């Protein structure tokens, strides 16, 4: 290739055209500035210049992006692939850890539920046994109360018997005293006769 072909750069041609175009617009601009009636045209020309500058900047940005796209190589793709694989491995590990943790938590929850059920069942059985024991105790107390009523009747009977015995004893004592007195009186009568 010749040196002219090697030095050829399309962006230099675009920049030269752009400079030439800018010079023409500035000349037109200087001619219009002189009159007050054409101030509106001056603002339109300024807007056109700004629009052309923005368009040129966008064109250069597009060229840079295309160059960057061409720089994406198979090495970059392999690096991205390995990173994606590492990310998927990490995600799988995270899901496995989460699954193991959930199994452990569910097993503990099941143990707690069984323990709660056994505790409630045991408590209910103890309450039922206590109620049965209390009923049995109340029945024994009722039986004892009935027996005490019979004992009270027996006590009254014994008390009545004691009174009777005391009365009999009193009568016996009185009769003995009377007999002695009678014997003594009879004895005196016999002596007098």
Residues 165-191: pLDDT tens digits?
888 888 888 777 766 666 656 665 666
In a domain, 172, yes or no: no
Q: Of the segments 7-16, 116-125, 171-180, which one has the largest average pLDDT value?
A: 116-125
CA distances from 149 to 143, 152, 154 (A): 10, 5, 9
Residue 11 near residue 63 (C-beta atoms within 8 A): yes
Q: Output the pLDDT for position 135.
A: 94
Q: Is residue 157 part of a domain?
A: no
Does residue 182 lie in a domain region? no
Least confident of 18-22, 115-119, 138-142: 18-22
What is the distance between the alpha carbons of residues 184 and 176, in angstroms, rounded to a whole number?
Answer: 12
- Domain enclosing residue 20, as ranges: 7-67
Which has the higher per-residue pLDDT, 70 or 92?
92
Q: Say if 99 falls within a structural domain.
A: no
In a domain, residue 62? The reply is yes
Percent with pLDDT over 90 in the chain: 32
Residue 35 belongs to a domain = yes
Q: What is the number of structural domains in the chain?
A: 1
37 pLDDT exceeds 60? no
Whether 54 is in a domain gets the answer yes
In a domain, 133, yes or no: no
Ranked by mean pLDDT, the top range of 4-13, 46-55, 140-149 is 140-149
Predicted TM-score (pTM) of this structure: 0.37
């Amino acid at each position: 290739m010749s040196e002219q072909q090697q030095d050829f750069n399309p962006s230099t041609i675009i920049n030269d055209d752009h400079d030439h175009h800018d010079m023409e617009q500035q000349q037109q601009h200087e001619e219009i500035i002189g009159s007050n009636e054409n101030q509106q045209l001056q603002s339109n020309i300024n807007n056109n210049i700004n629009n052309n500058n923005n368009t040129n900047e966008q064109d250069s940005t597009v060229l840079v992006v295309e160059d960057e796209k061409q720089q994406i190589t198979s090495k970059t793709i392999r690096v991205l692939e390995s990173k994606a694989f590492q990310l998927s491995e990490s995600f799988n590990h995270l899901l496995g850890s989460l699954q193991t943790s959930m199994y452990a938590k569910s097993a503990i929850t099941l143990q707690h539920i069984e323990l709660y059920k056994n505790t409630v069942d045991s408590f209910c059985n103890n309450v039922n046994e206590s109620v049965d024991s209390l009923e049995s105790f109340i029945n024994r107390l009722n039986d004892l109360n009935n027996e005490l009523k019979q004992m009270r009747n027996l006590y009254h009977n014994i008390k009545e018997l004691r009174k009777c015995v005391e009365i009999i004893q009193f009568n016996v004592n009185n009769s003995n005293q009377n007999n002695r007195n009678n014997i003594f009186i009879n004895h005196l009568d016999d002596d007098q006769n």
